[in-house]
Structure formats: structure tokens, C-alpha cells
Copies of this chain bind each other. A is one copy, B any other.
Amino acid sequence: MSQTQLNPLLEGHAAPPILVVLSGPSGVGKDSILMRMRDIGFPFHFVVTATSRPMRPGERDGYDYHFVSEAQFSEMIAAGDLLEWAEVYGHYKGIPKSEVRQALQSGRDVILRIDVQGASTIKQLAPDAVFVFLAPGSFDELRNRLQWRRTESPDQMERRLEMAHQEMAALDEFDYVVINREDHLDDAVGQIRAIIVAEKHRVRPRRVSL
């Protein structure tokens, strides 16, 4: 047994920083969960995704997303500035690499939200991240939420629901599943918090290098 691999909590030091990847089908509530976590003061670095999609009402640039033009996004890809990027429903989304690295290197825990395909890419880059799949209470709930959001056309919505069914199959690659039931957001947030606390107490902590 190598003592150096054991949890530094034992020596009175902090556990190494973790990278939490929060994923799940479109419309499942990843953004609401992250917003709540941020509001109640989770001591995490919340990675802001870059996107070329239009800002929705109430969203703030640099907080909800880095809203960039398609041209700017292409430059970021060319410069290798993105950990992962994808074209989703006609728009680009990507994770700024430097942000994640700098936060981890400074010892901060990091959380990022990403679609299911993106999570799969991150899994290859950082298998020691903590992968949390956010599942809907039911597909009816998912449909309701997408309808309520009113940002998709009926066609887009059906595509998203069909995609969600496919995405459930990717669950296998995840470590944890949390169900975001309608009107029970804080249950899901509490469960994610518990997962993070538990991960901090692993005898052999995960160590993410990116």
C-alpha cells in the first residue's frame, strides 16, 4: 500500500479537487440545478459554457453562458481553447479548457454541465471525473418542461424527446444517477451534494488531470 495515494484528509489536509460532470437529456433541468447550487453557495467553480445559441430571456452573458458568435466559436476551436465542443440542434456549445484547468490546479472543485454526448468525450479525457446523470422523473415531465420553456418548435421538441430516449442508454457510462422530479429540485440538489461529500471521503480519492 502506498500511503501517498490515500486520502489527505487523514493527514488533516483537504481532499484533492474533484471534477463533477453533470449531464442528462436536454430539458431535464441541468441549468436549474446548477443555478440553485450556485445560489446556495456550493463552494465550487462553476464552469461557464461557451455557446453560439441566442440568449434566452433572463440569461446573463458570462454567467449562464459565454454567448459568442459562430465566428468567435470557430476561432476558439481553431485555437484549441475548448476541452470539448459540439454542434447541438444547430448551435455550438463548448467547455473552455483553461477555466477547468486553472480551477483544478488552484485546488478548487469544479462542476460543469454538458450534454450526454459531451460527457462521453470528457469521460475519455478525464476518466476520474465524477459523472452524474440527471434523469427526468418521467418522459411526461420532460415533455412538460420543454413545453413550458417554449424555446423549441414542436418539431424540435419531438427531436429532443426522441434524443432523450436514446440518451438514457448512455447512463451506463455514468457513476451516479439523480432523478430531478418536478417540484423536487432541492431533493436532487441535496443528493448531488451528498455524492460530492461521499467522493471527498473515498479512501483512494480520484485525481483528475487534464
Contacts and interface: CB of A to CB of B under 8 A. Distances in A.
A10 B180 CA distance: 11
Contacts of A197: 190-191, 194-195, 198
A179 B175 CA distance: 24
A1 interface: yes
Instruction: Tell me how many chains of this kind the complex includes.
Output: 2
Contacts of A201: 176-178, 191, 194-195
A46 interface: no
A5 B178 CA distance: 16
Contact of A203 (B10, B133, B193): B133
A45 B178 CA distance: 24
A6 B171 contact: yes
A193 B191 CA distance: 11
